[in-house]
Amino acid sequence: MSNVVTVVGQGLYLAAAAVIGLGIARVLRIDNTISCLIAGVLAALLLPIFNYDTGLRAASLRDLVFFVILPVLIFESAWELEPKRLKRWVGPILLFSTLGLVICATIIAAITYYGVGHSEGFPWVAAMLTGAILAATDPVSVVNKLRQEKTNEDLLTLVDGESLFNDASAVVLYSLVLGVATYGVVENAPLGIKASSLDAISVTLYFCKVFFGGIAVGFVFGVATTLIILFLRSPSAALMTLVISAFGSFYLAESVLHVSGIISVMICAIVARACLSKQNSTYLVNAGPTWEWMGLFFTAIIFVIMGLVITFEMFSHQWLSMVIAAIAALGARALSVFLVAPLTRFVGPPIPKSWGLLMSWGGLRGVIAVALVLSLPVELPYWWTIQSMVFGVVLFSLLVQGTTSGRLIHKLNL
């Protein structure tokens, strides 16, 4: 019983810090993510005064991030997509989130590896982990500004949809690289490759199994969720079923079938949303606010945790690595977008140059990148370097890219 009470207390401490962060955003009129980060830093400063232990450890953070936070964030983002417009732009979205993601992650890895220039302390696998984490985009502030300006719905769908699929693919790539990095280093490494060798064939087969297996599980869960909701015929029961599906599809895929839980959650949300939109709009209207507050809550929690673990030593010892990572992330994103954009005409509508500029500068790194880097095993000798680099890039995204994206939208007449 004492363990339950302790966990509840720790959860309430994080939740209280998140609410204070939202209050700071209200007073200072700044972005919620920045204010929750500030609240997390303040909460960390108060810990010695209260003589309180938050209970946050590397192992518990991995479970918290992957089994609690990410399912909600991915399901909420997928639920927001309008099925008809998603169908129109699914070709370009898939192209950006597969080929574009690999290009972006590879360029980031190359720049950070040669930029850091320490092959023993920061090997190729560390650079690839950095690339996989920083390839995940989170243009929430850009999407909000596009909605406020009532811009083209197609542009909004492309930016929002590309971010969602990009995040799901980045998590799969991260899991794959983490499996290689932890092979023989971390016992029972989470989300690692369960194979006796690490040759190209086994890695490829593992990726296909994880990716397409996640799609299959998500599709089945999405259809089953729809049938259950239509059978129960209750808005409250529908919300309960959707929440259970978000966590259940992830758990079944990840822990039981050993395929991608993130892909499963995403497909489950898309299929359920598409099926229900053809049956009864009441469930869609009622579900929207629920997923909105859950997404806000868990995003706030992630940035509070970031504020709790961020330290001054990161900036004093790793400032050069942060600068290198920021340059790599910004340049790789721009290059990947403009290399892939001309190819979209073969799989869907062409991408205007102005849209490409917005996608490049508006490809912020946010909650998904923070969530992934928080889940890094501390047994890896370079985990702190990667965490410092990712935190630096996220701060650059929030303070520079996020605050200037509105001007870019106006300048491009979007």
Task: Let me know whether 192 and 170 are in one domain.
Answer: yes
Please give the Cα distance from 362 to 351 (Å, whole number).
15
For residue 62, which of 255, 223, 237 has the smallest C-alpha distance? 255
Residue range(s) defining the domain that contains residue 7: 1-55
CA 303 to chain centre: 12
Please give the Cα distance from 129 to 113 (Å, whole number).
11
pLDDT at 56: 64
Q: Give the model confidence (pLDDT) of 284-325 as tens digits.
A: 666 778 888 888 898 899 899 888 888 888 888 889 999 999
Question: Lowest-confidence range among 20-34, 46-60, 270-284?
Answer: 46-60
Q: Write out the DSSP string of 199-260.
A: -HHHHHHHHHHHHHHHHHHHHHHHHHHHHHHHHH--HHHHHHHHHHHHHHHHHIIIIIS-S-
H helices of 51-199, where? Answer: 58-64, 70-80, 83-95, 101-116, 124-134, 140-148, 153-182
Task: Let me know whether 351 and 406 are in one domain.
Answer: yes
Q: Could you give the percent of the chain with pLDDT greater than 90?
A: 35
Better pLDDT: 410 or 204: 410
Task: Let me know whether 91 and 12 are in one domain.
Answer: no
Q: Are 386 and 130 within 8 A, CB to CB?
A: yes
Task: Let me know whether 27 and 114 are in one domain.
Answer: no
Please give the Cα distance from 75 to 330 (Å, whole number).
27
Task: Let me know whether 32 and 164 are in one domain.
Answer: no
Dihedrals φ, ψ of 287, to 5°?
-75, -30
pLDDT at 101: 93
Q: What residues contact residue 149 under an 8 Å CB cut-off, 6+ apart? A: 409, 410, 414
- Describe the crossing of helices 70-80 and 235-251 by its angle, rounded to 10 degrees: 120
Q: Could you give the percent of the chain with pLDDT greater than 70?
A: 89
Q: How far is CA 41 from CA 133, 272, 388, in A?
A: 23, 39, 15
Task: Let me know whether 378 and 320 are in one domain.
Answer: yes
For residue 165, which of 257, 100, 88 has the smallest C-alpha distance? 100
pLDDT at 194: 45
Task: Let me know whether 113 and 43 are in one domain.
Answer: no
Number of domains in the chain: 2
Task: Let me know whether 260 and 321 are in one domain.
Answer: yes
User: What's the alpha-carbon Rg for the chain, to the nearest Å?
Assistant: 21
Q: Give the model confidence (pLDDT) of 79-96 as tens digits.
A: 888 888 888 899 999 999
Q: What is the mean pLDDT of residues 129-138?
A: 92
Of 55, 71, 94, the residue that ends a domain is: 55
Is the confidence at residue 392, as pLDDT, over 70? yes
pLDDT at 403: 83
Of 21, 37, 55, the residue that ends a domain is: 55
Q: What is the mean pLDDT of residues 48-62?
A: 68
Residue found by looking up tokens 């092979």 in the block:
183
Please give the Cα distance from 66 to 131 (Å, whole number).
19
Q: How far is CA 124 from CA 101, 206, 319, 382, in A?
A: 18, 20, 20, 11
Question: Is residue 283 very low, low, confident or very high in pLDDT (cuts 50, 70, 90)?
Answer: low
Q: Give the model confidence (pLDDT) of 154-199 as tens digits.
A: 888 888 888 889 988 898 889 888 888 876 554 444 444 444 445 5
Is the confidence at residue 152, as pLDDT, over 50? yes
Of 10, 31, 55, the residue that ends a domain is: 55
Is the confidence at residue 105, as pLDDT, over 90? yes
Task: Let me know whether 173 and 250 are in one domain.
Answer: yes
Please give the Cα distance from 163 to 157 (Å, whole number).
10
Residue 297 tokens read as 């809550």
What CATH number should be reported for the domain holding residue 161?
A: 1.20.1530.20
- Describe the crossing of helices 101-116 and 312-340 by its angle, rounded to 10 degrees: 140
Task: Let me know whether 12 and 64 are in one domain.
Answer: no
C-alpha angle 359-362-366 in degrees, rounded to nearest 5: 125
Task: Let me know whether 263 and 212 are in one domain.
Answer: yes
Task: Let me know whether 126 and 41 are in one domain.
Answer: no
Residue 48 tokens read as 């010695």
Residue found by looking up tokens 């989470």 in the block:
190
pLDDT at 142: 76
- Describe the crossing of helices 402-411 and 140-148 by its angle, rounded to 10 degrees: 40
